[in-house]
Amino acid sequence: MKRNINLSRTTRFFVGALMIAATITSCTDLELEETDSVIADARFAGVTEPSSFLDGVFGQLYGQIGTQSNIFALSEVTTDAALIPTRGADWGDNGAWRQLHQHNWPVNQRDIEATFQEFNSIHFKAAQVLSELTTAATTEDRGNAFFLRAMGMWVILDNFAQVPVRDPAAPLFDDVVVLRGQEAVDQIVSDLNEAIDVLPAGGPGAGGGEFAAHIRPTKAAARFLLAKVLLNKHIYLETTPDNADMQQVVSLVDQIAGDSYGIESGYFNIFRPESDNESILVGTAATDARVFNGLHYNSSNVRGGGWNGFSTLAEYYDLFEGDENTNVAGSGQEERRGVVPTIGTPFTGEDGTEDVLTHPLPTNADQGPDGFTDGSSVGVGFLIGQQYGDTGAALEARNGSGPLKFTRDFTDGNGDINLINNNEVTGIRVTKYNISYDQGRNRNHLIVFRYSDAHLMKAEAIHRSGGDATAMINELRLIRNATPLGAVTDQDILDERGRELYAELWRRNDLVRFGQFTNDWQLKDPAYVGDDSRNKFPIPASQLILNPNLTQNPGY
């Protein structure tokens, strides 16, 4: 029997968690305004303006997905896809970035704590809208709230394996109920089925926003998330994949395709601010972190240049076809690996672009004449080797330290492989949202869910239930100008997901599902190679104190 999440027990946890969350620096205001809900004598009395309240919760969700910390850090920096070496005094942050990549994080690691607080906050706020005390909620408000509650609960289940939930109307100092395993999965699945029933249908371009982006979920978005939950269900239950679940994944993806979604040709067009055929759920949040976090300070003068932090491992870059030492045009690379331009593109006045001299370049960079699109010499995908200015001049690093030439290896001042004492050019850089589009903002097109992921989920479900997914994998590869495969194994599917979905917050989830999150990779702490306790993050110590129904995950 389904357990309704409007439980009678509750919340020392959420009172503490929301108070803590309100102090976290974020792009989103997490405080509940008096106009959002009515709280009298410390008792919840309903959300008075559900639609505007939900706008704030979606803003919180997209802000969390768009940042380079929190859930992005847990999903990407803990894997072989991303790492942030300490470069002199830059990106030290008391070892926080290094801890994630090495898997030696403490229980109070900042991104772990913030993710636990933020996504519990999201599903709790959604529960406020779904409360019987919120009498002003429309059917569509409730559909959005069901989706948000499922999304928040799923992120917590996927990362922490236990989900604290409560009835907003219950006494504030009751201990929160915690759902685990089957009970948590059942509640998330129930919410998503409710959402599918009442959310509007819509294909590419539906959902509103300046660029017709899906700022609110449609049925397709709820089906996508339900497929994701079912594909991972055996991980949460610690069993093996169930064929009935896999068949439901196939059916859900077919229904999404039935709404006219498909694989977009022109891979990097997906990450431009215009609408496209792939985008199922798109957030109205800044993509600055995706644009700038790996670019060098002198990569471009658009909005002051890059932040020079994030990089990827050479072994991840080597998943792609092409010359391992260069990524300029003609080096044999597949489309998804991107390209390093050797000169900018002529300025045409395209919306969202500017002439190079609109923002004069610094004196040590390539100034150039009018006629080039500002930032168009910055590549997309994986940036390795010499980088160039808009007029084709080879760029230099800062302070006369040499050419701006990104290297495969992370070496310290002694030439040893290391996560500390790196210079400014170590590591291959990654960017999907090109800096020349919309002057690096792309504010209304933060990809959350897209169809190629759904296509790969269907292929995996077919494979896990004993079918042959080779044709489906090759369908995607041919569109991406990659060589077809002769047959498909587990490793081929995982690798294909890595090639298609890098920097989109799926790498940890995929590695855990394929049993490879604890594998060895460069610069991981050897003590944690093969340590299955790392498949779950620790419950923050502060929350264990607040709620005795939480238990620390094994290994912490």
pLDDT of residue 35: 40
Residues ≥6 apart with Cβ < 8 Å to 147:
126, 191, 192, 195, 199, 217, 221, 222, 225
Cα–Cα distances in angstroms (integers) from residue 135 to residues 124, 130, 194, 226, 462, in the given order: 17, 9, 18, 27, 43
- The answer to whether 422 and 87 have CB atoms below 8 angstroms apart is yes
Give, in order, the Cα–Cα distances in Å from 492 to each of 334, 484, 485, 497, 510. 16, 11, 9, 9, 12
DSSP letter string over 158-192? HHHSEEEE--TTS-TTSPPEEEEHHHHHHHHHHHH
- Count the Cβ atoms, other than its own, within 10 Å of residue 6: 15
pLDDT along the chain (556 residues), means of 10: 39 40 37 42 85 94 95 98 94 95 96 97 98 96 98 98 93 89 98 98 68 72 98 98 98 98 95 88 88 94 88 98 95 96 85 61 45 88 96 92 96 96 97 78 79 98 98 98 97 98 98 98 97 98 93 97
Q: How many whole angstroms separate alpha carbon 328 and alpha carbon 330?
A: 6
Backbone phi, then psi, for 211, in 5-degree steps? -110, 30
Q: Quick check: 339 and 328 in contact, CB under 8 A?
A: yes
Q: Residue 386 belongs to what H/E stretch?
A: strand 385-386
CA distance 343 to 393: 8
The Cα–Cα gap between 128 and 4 comes to 14
Contacts of 297 (CB under 8 A, 6+ apart): 305, 306, 307, 308, 398, 424
Between CA 118 and CA 126 the distance in angstroms is 13
- CA end-to-end distance (rounded Å), the chain: 34
Delimit the domains of the chain by residue range: 205-286+443-514
Cα distances (angstroms) measured from residue 239 to each of 74, 154, 233, 455: 24, 18, 8, 24
279 close to 213: Cβ distance less than 8 angstroms: yes
Regarding pTM above 0.95, the answer is no
Neighbours of 420 (CB within 10 A): 15
CA distance 19 to 31: 9
**Cα gap 166→176, rounded to integer Å:** 6
Predicted local confidence at residue 365, as pLDDT: 46
Please choose, from the candidates 36, 1, 4, the residue with its C-alpha nearest in 3D space to the C-alpha of residue 18.
Answer: 36
Instruction: Give the DSSP H or E segment for 249.
Output: helix 243-257
Per the CATH hierarchy, to which homologous superfamily does domain 205-286+443-514 belong? Answer: Tetratricopeptide repeat domain (1.25.40.10)
On whether the CB atoms of residues 107 and 556 are closer than 8 A, the answer is yes
